Amino acid sequence: MTSLLPTGSARTAHTPRFPDAEPGEPSLETWQDAPYNRWAFAHVAEIVPTAPISHRSSVQTAHAGHGLNALLGSLPDLEHRLDESYTDALVVVRGGRVIADHYRDGFTPHTPHLLMSVSKSICGLTVGTLVDDGLIDPSQRVDHYVPALAGSAYGDATVQHVLDMTVDVDYDEDYRNPSSHVQSQDRVAGWRPRLAGDPADTYAFLATLRGGARHGERFKYCSAGTDVLAWIVENVTGLRYADAVSQRLWSRLGCEHDASITVDPGGFGFANGGISCTVRDLARVGELMLGEGVIAGDRIVSAEWIRRTRAGGDPAAATGTAFQRVHAGGSYANQWWITGSDRGDYYAVGIHGQFIWVDPASHTVVAKFSSWPEPVTEAWNRLHAELFRDICLAGG
């Protein structure tokens, strides 16, 4: 676990200072907001306590920068588009080879960055490995694995309902509303200053959530569901979530660096948004998906799990959502977004612009870190879908 502040930093009652931060001085209240997020998303371990997700590899690969030359011939405005979309880092992998990369000033291939909700897709893959081994049955009720959630919104939902976010739960995901459930969960996770009456930790928070019993009918995006999945992972493996992700996934991807995850006062890893890693290691998650569960000759998750994920959920469940205004006929499955396009592309996404984009048609993976000023807008998502498809068509 890391300290809240860098060594030697001055402490104040409510506004910790970060002397090397540019621009401005982020605090626990402001670090997720522009302009502070441009620094903070690469220095999360200096703001919130974290635990490592070990890569356990003795292989260290030296990388020369590839730049954007492979793509600029087809996309002469690419650098401008990356700058305009607040890009911190971008890597394009085609056929298992990095063909292009880009880093803003201060970033390198070895700089970690917060993934936000791309962390959810990593959780989905971790669950998939446990389903493959018979340790989790997606059709089983959540309270079978986590008795403490009996009586909550999640208790009588199935694991598959949670994976596909079709749980009937009362949860406000408004990132700008101080009274929303998502901000309450941020406070419990240590991402914002606590308020009197907040639950002690994420375990206690999840048990407070209520809802109806009409699971499986409608898609409802809810970050808390991923933390329910992480609790199931802990209970069936007997490991802390960070250690389970390391053992089941991260240590087998051929990653060059440890990842990390923020942890709350109860030691719970913030599965829905708290992972940080390097952009090239993140691209390997996309390569695993593209390889139908195999990377570098090692099967990590079954081809059947990847095929079920790519097949998507029920598009009718997401009718009327902002997601379908960008991706008509799109759906959500196993913590991944499925576009429903003729290309068969799909992706993982986190607020403020974190992406893994997988395009089977061109055998391309694009990983992107950003620090958008706003958490999410329909316009930003549309812009990035166009950007990624242009990249996948370019540099052939």
Query: Measured between alpha carbons, how far is 288 from 298 in angstroms, rounded to an integer?
Result: 10
Residue pair 28/193 in contact (Cβ under 8 Å)? The answer is: yes
Peptide bond before 178: cis, by omega within 30 degrees of 0?
Answer: no
180 is catalytic: no
Query: Measured between alpha carbons, how far is 39 from 371 in angstroms, rounded to an integer?
Result: 9
| CA torsion angle 288 357 310 163 (round to 10) | 90
Residue 215 CB partners (closer than 8 Å, separation 6+): 156, 157, 158, 161, 166, 167, 168
Burial class (CB in 10 A: 0-12, 13-18, 19+), 299: middle
Q: Please pick, among 117, 119, 276, 370, the residue that the annotation labels catalytic.
A: 117
343-to-22, 96, 200, 248, 369 alpha-carbon distances in Å: 40, 19, 46, 30, 23
In this structure, is the dihedral angle defined by the CA atoms of residues 80, 24, 351 and 259, taken in order, positive or negative? positive
Query: Measured between alpha carbons, how far is 238 from 247 in angstroms, rounded to an integer?
Result: 12
> Residue 7: which H helix or E strand, with range?
none
Q: List beta partners, residue 367.
A: 91, 356
356 phi and psi, to 5 degrees? -120, 120
| The amino acid at 145 | Y
Note the residue count of the chain: 396
Query: Measured between alpha carbons, how far is 394 from 396 in angstroms, rounded to an integer?
Result: 5
HEC per residue, 87-105: EEEEEEEECCEEEEEEECC
Structure tokens at 290: 């593209």
- Residues catalogued as catalytic: 117
